[in-house]
Amino acid sequence: MHRIAILSILILGISVLGFPGSARAASAIYDIGGTWDSSFGPMTLKMDGKDDTGEVVVTGTWQNGDNQGQIVYGRLNPNKGSGLLSFEYYMPWRQIYGFAEMAVRPAENKIVGRYFEAGQSGDWVLTKKTGTLGLVQGELPHARGPLTKRGSKNFQVLGKWDSTFGEVNLEGTTLGAVIGFKGTFKRQDGKLGQIKKGSFMKNPSGGFMKLEYFAPWNKTSGEAIFRPDTHVGGDMLVGSYTQGSQNGIWILSRPLSYKLSQK
């Protein structure tokens, strides 16, 4: 009888408190702050506390030659393996956004994963520059807000964009799920093209945009179609243009100042 009572108490204790060490394992977070060597130049990461979901807010930059890329949204999920690092980044020298997803590998002192950029992807490996990858000591504080949001499929299409062919400005009106607009695009040499008409239709995948333009410097007309990027949503619209027998890629990206203001 006593044995049954003792066994019942032990079972109850395990069900309430968990197995020995389980709470520690669930809250274990590897400290990825500091400097890393990476496939695209040295990277510095900073852990800025936890968000409302318990994920760690990560910020940082990396140096690609004379150019500096910036993490505009980053999270470390400590509950996936030894940690899953996901971040949206911006490259000002190309004026485009990208997204990366990487697994923390403490035994190798590395963070290993892939990047996704306007339909292209590849490997991205971070190797800790000095020391070993250890656990965070103590509890991380709550991150101070407001926090920058990850690019979404729900976005505003009107306004200012950077693009492959210079600054784009779209002005129009919203009619239900469809937005009609006109606008301009300004090349780096100062020449101004006209967006004669265009429309953006929202759908579950983000939307579909089509426009017709006129280039007065060579008196030619063309059209282009765009869709929000698969990984960064409305922060970047990936499209193509057709102008007579010519065609090519046309990418629209929100200016960095616009992105950082979306909180």
Confidence of residue 262 (pLDDT cuts 50, 70, 90): confident
Q: What is the pLDDT of residues 201-246, one digit of tens each?
A: 999 999 999 999 999 999 999 999 999 999 999 999 999 999 999 9
* Per-domain residue ranges of the chain: 21-128, 159-261
Query: pTM to 2 decimals?
Result: 0.87
Q: What is the pLDDT of residue 217?
A: 95
**C-alpha torsion sign, points 37, 41, 44, 49:** negative
Are the beta carbons of 195 and 184 closer than 8 angstroms? yes
> How far is the C-alpha of 181 from the C-alpha of 150, rounded, in Å?
26
Q: What is the pLDDT of residue 27?
A: 60
Bridge partner list, 122: 115
Q: What is the pLDDT of residue 145?
A: 83
Q: Which CATH architecture has domain 21-128?
A: Beta Barrel (2.40)
* Whether the domain at 21-128 and the domain at 159-261 fall into the same CATH topology: yes
Instruction: Kindly tell me if the per-residue pLDDT of 1 is higher than 90.
Output: no
Selecting from 2.40.128, 2.40.10, 2.70.98, 3.30.420, what CATH number does the domain 159-261 have?
Answer: 2.40.128
